[in-house]
Structure 1
Amino acid sequence: MIRRILFVVVLLFVSVWPLSAQHIPSDEEIRIGIIGLDTSHSLAYAKLINQTDSSSLAGLRVVAAYPKGNPDLATGERIPEFTEDVRKLGIEIVGSIDELLARVDVVMLETRDGRMHLEQALPVLKAGKPLYIDAPLAGSLGEAIAIYEAAQRYNVPVFTAEPLRYTPKTQAIAEGKVGEIIGAATYSPAPTHPTHSDLFWYGGHGVAMLYTVMGPGCEVLWRVHTQGTDAVICRWEDDRLGTYRGIRSGKRGYGGTAFGTDGIVRLGGFEDYLPVVLKVGSFFKSGKPPVSAEESLEIYAFMAAADKSKRLGGQPVYLEKMLANTRKEARQKLEQILSERN
């Protein structure tokens, strides 16, 4: 079962992640660096960290940023604009990841193109810097696994999460507002991009909401695809059912419904970035990722399995098999990259 495979993975990660002092900066101020200024998240997160009066963010400061993103994506055109806006906050703009690492204690990887994340994450991990990776974690499931394999190798904690995971309404449900969750249905915009697996590009917002309330343990899923809509039906190992609806036509939004033992309640949509930034701050202070490696990898296995189900015309795809088949490929890719760098 998927829980068994992921449990073994997590045990391996935990056994080599003692969260020693080398991962938790001892300086009075924890200096944060940003990689990637091709997304509005970079500017928004930097402003919140440097300007919010919150005990969770006290002692944290964004001090440097490396702008490089993918100029071929639409957001890449805004790199000069975002770079200037970040510079106005008093944040130093540097010319390479190595320059950034020499100035900071921890890193936020914000590059919009998930395909660049593995390459950009490796020097951060090798330098021993705790790393937050904004969504999408990677451009493929194999690259997502490779990032965690590298984190294990270098004994560095990694945290990734969608902002919608931490909306107050969704968190209240996850914490038991309607009792035990027996099912959930979520929806979000799901435009696609030819460079990424379909749901990796934008659908991950709604999938993350589904996992926030349901937790890990999805066993099998089926995907129905049309030009304007995706519908993914998924069965958890304990026979609970969840659904995700990806919207490409008509009115778009974020939300859903959670079905609990004590009530049925709507899931909240996006409000602001502060809740996820507070979690990032807590992670940098403690060295403990708020979302487990197990759950993070399963979310990307879910989205990769949905792509495979689409290719198979809606046939069922089991996540355990998807992870097992991809892990060997991921390890080979990581070894190849590391050998080329050496």
Structure 2
Amino acid sequence: MDEESHARLSSRPPPFGSYAQPVDTVRWGIIGVGDVTEAKSGPGFQHAQRSELVAVMRRDGAKAADYARRHDVPRWYDDAEALLGDPDVDAVYIATPPDSHRDYAVRALEAGKPVYVEKPMARTTRECEEMLAAAERARLPLFVAYYRRSMPRFATVKELLDGGAIGQVHAFRVENFRPTPAVGEQVPWRLRPGISGGGHFVDLASHTLDLLDHLLGPVTQVHGHALNISGISQAEDTVSGTFQVGSAVVGTGLWCYAADEDRDLVEIIGTEGSLRFSSFGQEPLRLRTGAGVREIEAPYPATVQQPLIQAVVDELTGVGASPSTGASAIRTARVVDALLAEYRTEYGLTFR
């Protein structure tokens, strides 16, 4: 489903639950109440306007019950079908690891519930395509938690770029380094490609790649190479890439998660200056022009996903639109797949 199709579907009154017209409040259910839902996302569904969190599900019923108690959620389940069948749940947030995103999203859409799914959208482009096809069949919107698209920090970046603060953009570079993570007897799921789709590159770099899509436009050409330096799992830990956006912007990226330092840099270069910022930090933006260097404060919100959650609720209640959809997120999946294609073949990594 392309952008035009998504716009066509989401422009109609949201036909979810038992409602024929937009509702005043979206009642959410969460599938998978793990760590990400504790502070980054879960409270956002309770604090957003016209939004309520009414049910949560986790296969471990005791943990689901504990989450519901601690967060004042009325109901909990240990079975996804029970939550999907709850008539008081209007829309579903899927916060499980990526290997189950496709399955839960399709089931939720078939149950008549719009979906907001964690990033990455799925492990591969093919799985993303199946999710979009299910949304098309159900005539329901599908949203993805690339929440940087709505964060005030990066809204400021976009305003500067769109306003011509550095002239015409013609290049960018990305660097993201972290030391090799300590791994015990059990390799974390984020480093197990069968579950996550890859390693920290898939988990972290997808945020930056999606943000660049939002800031500069879709990537039109991409070439890359991936290696496994640390050997702590089958996941890639060092990736390089070259990019072209449209016909006039080129870029490079280097991601190393087996380094001896932490580094987090995005630099966008224009004809009249440059703009530097980090994807994961909160230090000021650094704008360089002929007038000198200016630092611009751009902190995170208390609940980082809340601005995007609000945008999703706005779309579902007919008063706005979300900047992050399945149609935009699949472009990031295609870029990730292109960068890792040779690596996955070399290591025999296949996905259903």
State the TM bucket, normalised to the shorter chain: 0.7 to 0.9
Question: Where does residue 273 of structure 2 map in the other structure?
Answer: 263
Question: Where does residue 84 of structure 1 map in the other structure?
Answer: 66
Q: What is the CA deviation profile of residues 160-190 of structure 1, one whole-angstrom value per residue up to 9, with x for unaligned ones?
A: 1323444434322223253443222223468
Question: Where does residue 304 of structure 1 map in the other structure?
Answer: 337
1:304 CA displacement: 0.3
> Residue 58 and residue 224 in structure 1: after superposition, are their counterparts in 2 closer, same or farther (change >3 A)?
closer
Return 5+ residue gaps in structure 1 as ranges.
Answer: 1-7, 70-78, 314-329, 334-342
> Residue 39 and residue 144 in structure 1: after superposition, are their counterparts in 2 closer, same or farther (change >3 A)?
farther
Q: Does 1:252 align with 2:262?
A: yes
Mapped partners of 1:272, 1:244: distance in 2: 27
Question: Where does residue 241 of structure 1 map in the other structure?
Answer: 250
1:259 CA displacement: 1.4
Q: Does 1:193 align with 2:192?
A: yes
Q: Which is further off, 197-206 or 121-130?
A: 197-206
Q: What is the CA deviation profile of residues 83-120 of structure 1, one whole-angstrom value per residue up to 9, with x for unaligned ones?
A: 52442111121132232231311111111x21101111
> Residue 309 and residue 234 in structure 1: after superposition, are their counterparts in 2 closer, same or farther (change >3 A)?
farther
Mapped partners of 2:121, 2:276: distance in 1: 27
Answer yes or no: is the 8 Å Cα contact 1:210–1:244 preserved in 2.
no
2:323 aligned to which of 290, 295, 298: 290
Mapped partners of 1:232, 1:83: distance in 2: 44
Taking only aligned residues, the RMSD between alpha carbons, in angstroms, comes to 3.0
1:62 CA displacement: 0.9
Mapped partners of 2:103, 2:62: distance in 1: 22
Answer yes or no: is the 8 Å Cα contact 2:50–2:313 preserved in 1.
no
Could you say what secondary structure the match of 1:291 adopts? coil
Question: Where does residue 206 of structure 2 map in the other structure?
Answer: 204
Q: What is the CA deviation profile of residues 42-61 of structure 1, one whole-angstrom value per residue up to 9, with x for unaligned ones?
A: 554222332x4xxxx22211
Superposition pairs of residues 208-223 of structure 1, within 5 angstroms: 208-223=210-225
Question: Where does residue 95 of structure 1 map in the other structure?
Answer: 78
Superposition pairs of residues 47-126 of structure 1, within 5 angstroms: 47-50=43-46, 52=47, 57-68=48-59, 84-91=66-73, 92-101=75-84, 102=86, 103-111=88-96, 113-126=97-110
Answer yes or no: is the 8 Å Cα contact 2:41–2:304 preserved in 1.
no
Question: Where does residue 39 of structure 1 map in the other structure?
Answer: 35
> Residue 132 and residue 42 in structure 1: after superposition, are their counterparts in 2 closer, same or farther (change >3 A)?
farther
Answer yes or no: is the 8 Å Cα contact 2:176–2:263 preserved in 1.
yes
Mapped partners of 2:27, 2:345: distance in 1: 47
Mapped partners of 1:169, 1:224: distance in 2: 30
Q: Does 1:276 align with 2:305?
A: yes
Mapped partners of 1:40, 1:186: distance in 2: 25
1:267 CA displacement: 2.0
Mapped partners of 1:107, 1:267: distance in 2: 33
1:9 CA displacement: 3.3
Mapped partners of 1:15, 1:104: distance in 2: 24
Q: What is the CA deviation profile of residues 269-306 of structure 1, one whole-angstrom value per residue up to 9, with x for unaligned ones?
A: 33356353222222123234313544311110000000
> Residue 182 and residue 41 in structure 1: after superposition, are their counterparts in 2 closer, same or farther (change >3 A)?
farther
Question: Where does residue 2 of structure 2 map in the other structure?
Answer: 9
Q: Give the aligned length.
A: 293
Given the two structures, how large is their TM-score scaled by the length of structure 2? 0.72
> 2:69 is matched by which residue type in structure 1?
R
| Higher helix proportion (structure 1 or 2) | 1
Return 5+ residue gaps in structure 2 as ranges.
Answer: 179-189, 230-236, 281-299
> Residue 93 and residue 211 in structure 1: after superposition, are their counterparts in 2 closer, same or farther (change >3 A)?
same
Mapped partners of 1:139, 1:213: distance in 2: 24
Could you say what secondary structure the match of 1:61 adopts? strand
Given the two structures, how large is their TM-score scaled by the length of structure 1? 0.74
Mapped partners of 2:24, 2:8: distance in 1: 29
1:137 CA displacement: 0.8
1:80 CA displacement: 5.6
> 1:266 is matched by which residue type in structure 2?
R
Answer yes or no: is the 8 Å Cα contact 2:25–2:52 preserved in 1.
yes
1:35 CA displacement: 0.8
Mapped partners of 2:64, 2:273: distance in 1: 44
Mapped partners of 1:290, 1:275: distance in 2: 15
Mapped partners of 1:193, 1:273: distance in 2: 30
> Residue 264 and residue 85 in structure 1: after superposition, are their counterparts in 2 closer, same or farther (change >3 A)?
same
Answer yes or no: is the 8 Å Cα contact 2:36–2:95 preserved in 1.
no
Q: What is the CA deviation profile of residues 203-232 of structure 1, one whole-angstrom value per residue up to 9, with x for unaligned ones?
A: 312322332322213223222535253211
> Residue 13 and residue 284 in structure 1: after superposition, are their counterparts in 2 closer, same or farther (change >3 A)?
same
Question: Where does residue 337 of structure 1 map in the other structure?
Answer: none
Could you say what secondary structure the match of 2:328 adopts? helix
Mapped partners of 1:182, 1:68: distance in 2: 48
Q: Does 1:184 align with 2:166?
A: no
